[in-house]
Amino acid sequence: MAHEMGVFLTLAGHPPVKRITWPPFGAAAFGVFLFFAAIRLGISAPQSEPDQRLCAIKGIVTDAITGQGLRKAFVRLVGKGNSYPGVTDDQGRFALETIEPGTYLLEAEHQGFIDGHFGDAAGVAVEMRLTRDQTLVDLTIKLTPQAVISGRVVDEEGDVWTHAQVGLLRSEWVHGKRTLQGCCGGDVNDQGEFRIGQIPPGKYYLSAEPDASWESKNRPHARDALERQPTWFPSSLDLESATPITLGPGNQLSGLEIRLRRGSIHRIRGMLLGSETIAEQDGPWGKLSISAEWTSDVAANGKNGVIHSDGSFEITGVPSGTYEIGVHQGLPPSVLEL
């Protein structure tokens, strides 16, 4: 007997049944003959065997804030080598059928919301293992309304600046330490404008970084010339003086302006001793790397340098500040510790 299962309950149900299709010519006559032959011989007409392997899932996609079902949300059940897409109805409900047994992740997206997945209260994706002839019901995927920020980048005189990128970093606690993790960003358009969507709720820092390639081609050759530097919103060369941005679900912040700052750029040169005794590891990050990490009570940032074959190193484009020189082997740091 087939079984239909909820997340925690087992209910009776009906699996799909294979069908036999006869060609148009003679199908009706043959069916009548088969019916009478079965009665006359006292045996049952042959029955098709149900497919005991295929699975199904049913559920709903809702707004995480209002709890209302979301119409026309796109749902995908994704596994190794298999993907089963679907779309929700007017009540936000979906049903995916004829699924091969296996292990899957269930995800959903809807315009104006953060892409989400079926998971626990902490938002961690939950894998579901479907065994043959199993139906899971009452699955719920909650999508959070996206926050959006928009604005423009200007130069130190307040004129629109198009040779820059913007970045948004999220302030989080990781292993007991406050850190900044890259969230999203991109280039400004031809009006110096930016718009960043798909932002989850949280506390963020916004920055603009001048196009280094453009700057190197167009900066004055004077030795004491000040250069445009990465600038934190609204117009700070260091994170200590930056203004954080706190976003709630669905917040729309517009009219933000980042005014780029100029400052001195330095070059650090030196010699690395003992590097020849360190074996090079396999893989793309097997070589030694060097960086100048800017330190303060609030943040740590860095500039990567180059180590030459003779052990000499050079770090360029370093803004004014106090730094620690660090040598690394392996993957570079992915977060900024506060």
Residue 33 forms part of a structural domain: no
| Domain finish residue from 238, 263, 288 | 263
Q: How far apart are CA 34 and CA 76, in angstroms?
A: 44
| Domain finish residue from 143, 158, 181 | 143
pLDDT at res. 302? 65
Weakest mean pLDDT among 174-178, 288-292, 332-336:
332-336
Are 7 and 133 found together in one domain?
yes
Are 8 and 85 found together in one domain?
yes
Token pair in block for residue 131: 């065994």
Task: Using alpha carbons, select from 324, 280, 274 the residue that is nearest to residue 303.
Answer: 324
Contact between 98 and 51 (Cβ < 8 Å): no
Element spanning 31, H or E: helix 27-41
Which residues face 62 on adjacent strands?
69, 142
Are 119 and 177 found together in one domain?
no
Contact between 145 and 117 (Cβ < 8 Å): no
Domain count, the chain: 3
Are 235 and 273 found together in one domain?
no
Q: What are phi and psi of 168, to 5 degrees?
A: -120, 125
Are 77 and 199 found together in one domain?
no
Note the pLDDT tens digit of each residue in 68-94. 999 999 999 999 989 999 999 999 999
The DSSP secondary-structure symbol of 276 reads G
Are 77 and 181 found together in one domain?
no
Computed over every residue of the chain, the mean pLDDT equals 79
Are 153 and 212 found together in one domain?
yes
Task: Using alpha carbons, select from 73, 54, 51 the residue that is nearest to residue 62.
Answer: 73
Name, in order, each residue with C-beta under 8 angstroms of 261's C-beta and a sequence gap of 6 or more.
156, 228, 229, 231, 235, 236, 237
Are 250 and 214 found together in one domain?
yes
Are 158 and 233 found together in one domain?
yes
Give Cα 257 distance to the centre of its chain: 26
Alpha-carbon dihedral sign for residues 255, 200, 109, 186: positive
Residue 32 has pLDDT above 60, yes or no: no
The DSSP secondary-structure symbol of 160 reads B
- CATH code for position 139: 2.60.40.10
Residue 41 has pLDDT above 50, yes or no: no
Q: What are phi and psi of 145, to 5 degrees?
A: -55, 135
Which residues face 229 on adjacent strands?
261
Token pair in block for residue 10: 């087992």
Residue 48 has pLDDT above 50, yes or no: no
Higher-pLDDT residue of 191 and 284 is: 191
Task: Using alpha carbons, select from 176, 174, 243, 178 the residue that is nearest to residue 206.
Answer: 243
Are 139 and 153 found together in one domain?
no
Residue 295 forms part of a structural domain: yes
Weakest mean pLDDT among 27-31, 90-94, 184-188, 238-242:
27-31
Note the pLDDT tens digit of each residue in 219-247. 776 666 688 988 999 999 888 889 999 99
What's the mean pLDDT in 326-330?
76
pLDDT at res. 29? 43
Residue 81 forms part of a structural domain: yes
| Domain finish residue from 228, 263, 298 | 263
What's the mean pLDDT in 208-227?
80
Higher-pLDDT residue of 173 and 13 is: 173
Residue 39 forms part of a structural domain: no
Token pair in block for residue 269: 């040169």
Are 115 and 81 found together in one domain?
yes
Looking at the chain, the number of H-run helices and the number of E-run strands are 2, 27
Contact between 303 and 315 (Cβ < 8 Å): yes
Note the pLDDT tens digit of each residue in 121-162. 556 788 999 999 999 999 999 999 999 999 999 999 999 999
Q: How far apart are CA 238 and CA 230, in angstroms?
A: 9
Give residue 84's domain range. Answer: 3-16+51-143
**Can you state the percent helix, strand and coil of the chain, rounding each to 5?**
10, 50, 40
Task: Using alpha carbons, select from 62, 53, 100 the residue that is nearest to residue 78.
Answer: 100
Residue 203: pLDDT band (50, 70, 90) is very high
Are 245 and 151 found together in one domain?
yes
What's the mean pLDDT in 160-170?
95
